[in-house]
Amino acid sequence: MKRDSPCEPAVGDTNPDKRPKLDQLDTTGRNNTTLEFEAQADCSAITSAVANTTPTEPGAIEADEPTPSLSKRKNKTRGSRGRGRDQRARTDRNAERKGSWASRGTRNEDDKPVDDIGEKAPRLPKKKVAVLIGFCGTGYNGMQIQREAGTNTIENTLFDAMVKAGAVSKDNSDDPVKVNFQRAARTDAGVHAAGNVVSLKMITEPPDTPDLVAKLNELLPPEIRVWTFVRATNAFNSSPVDRTACDSRVYEYMFPSSALLPPMPGTPMERHTKPETIDPNGPDWEYWSLPDATKPETMRAWRIGKGQFEALRESAKLYEGTHNFHNFTVGLEHSDPSALRYMISIDVKEPYVLDGIEWISVMYHGQSFMLHQRKMTTLLIFTSRTGTPASSLIPQAFNSPKLLIPKAPALGLLLQEPRFGTYNKHVLEENELAAGRGETDRVREPIEWEPLREKIDGFKHAYIYRRIRAEEAKQGVFAAWLKFIDSYDGWEFKYLNPRGEIPSEAVVHPEKRKQGSTNKFREYLWKNPAGKGGESVPDSEDEEGDTIKKPSVDMEG
């Protein structure tokens, strides 16, 4: 399930020279949809400087300046020519760059929009707000804004609607950075969110728009909804890096219970996992004796036994607390401090049947997540369906041995909501002080989901759950993913066994990576796209557990 963007200039600071550089930008995040806004010089300022500079002859000296030495004059001339070439090159590149927001610079006064009679449009007041949204991610290239022309993301669509509704002025429409646009959690391509939060400086009362939320929803496609917005403190930042605001997140992962059927007889996985003595509370090894066991409709009609379900629920509790999750993300070693994460609660919900398929939902409430941390679900499924003792294997996975744990399909993942407990407590305290002083204009609303629960649940069932069920019914994503895993004949999954032991051959040692011995699984993955659980582009670094560093912040798919 690991896992923001732009810099935030100081309020009222319009000097582009004082903007943070690229290495100061909040570009945490690690996935293939992560956008890193490229640091650019102010195109218009550079162009103006180049165009308006009067050329002088090499070595020419101003009358009121002291005469420099010959060597200094040569160095100065040589440096000026070099800087001029660099400026012209940057200007040419910026002019050629295609995208929704080609310039990061603040517009000059002459560039501001004018009305029909040639007068400059009035500046409407902006307020820092938290906008609560939900979306179905099917068909979108993730959550975060991307500047490439034609890229379809949730934030691209939302920001365009805000501009059309007048919530963002045309003067700021070319760059979300100008309104301090941030989000509480990013999501990967195809991942859904019942609740998420974006923050920005927004025009909350555009002309002729009595209900801004209704106007935005009218402009947005039905799979993206704005639930409400609340006035936030000026210092509020929804970014996951700001732990004073969003202090935890809740994710849901749902999968069909048929994913817990044991490996098919004769497969490599079955050979090293099936015990000599069958545990009645373990996997249903007798299922494969049914005459039509391999048919999709037979598998979907299967229901999990009470003993196996309770064991699954107990296994999930092993993740709670502070642990080293280096085996459940990418690009981190056991020694990396950022691999330590705190899981507040893991709750496996009772199975429920929709459209003839039994589903199981796991709710993950954590202080923070990392990229592809949905591997936690992978190990829950693997231990339950093979009878591997989770009470032994999961604690060992927190230790130093590096294991190959594939990603569970992105199809079943959705962000339930980010939570703002610390921020809400601060707001309520400040509201009490403001009320005592009679400063009602300083009162702010907490960010709460419960008043919106009915609308959000209705949206989840109508759009998110329906899409997940339809995709699974049509493509059989989970069945194809597990068939791929079961058929792989290699050493990587030997940690799944009745003893709950991790044999040395199942450990991904650094020397194995150097020798390329992990390439076998990568090649198998490329030849079997279904093994990615419906994802189109295999990520060999992810699956092999290579040590190439990637940002390891919040889980986004």
Binding site for substrate: residue ranges?
A: 251
The Cα-based distances of 416 to 198, 313, 449, 543 in angstroms read: 15, 20, 10, 26
In sequence order, the 6+-apart residues with CB closer than 8 A to the CB of 499 are 389, 392
Residue 71 backbone dihedrals phi, psi, to 5 degrees: -65, -40
Element (H, E) at 127: strand 127-135
- Residue 556 and residue 292: Cα distance in Å, rounded? 38
Element (H, E) at 74: helix 70-96
Residues 6+ apart with CB under 8 A from 497: 272, 273, 386, 388, 503
Residues 479, 378 contacting (CB under 8 angstroms): no
DSSP string, 247-312: -EEEEEEEEEGGGGSPPPTTSHHHHTT--SS--TTS--GGGGGSTTTTSHHHHHT----HHHHHHH
C-alpha 557/C-alpha 554 separation (Å) is 9
CB 3 within 8 A of CB 555: yes
26, 188, 242, 542: the active-site residue:
188
CB–CB of 375/407 below 8 Å? yes
Residue 323 identity: H
Pairing of strands 127-135, 352-354: unpaired
User: Has 188 been annotated as catalytic?
Assistant: yes
H/E segment holding residue 89: helix 70-96
Burial 377-401 (b: 16+ CB within 10 A, else e): bbbbbbbbbbbbbbeebbeebbeee
Residue with tokens 């002859």: 57
Burial class from Cβ neighbours inside 10 Å (0-12, 13-18, 19+) for residue 212 reads: buried
What is the set of active-site residues?
Answer: 188
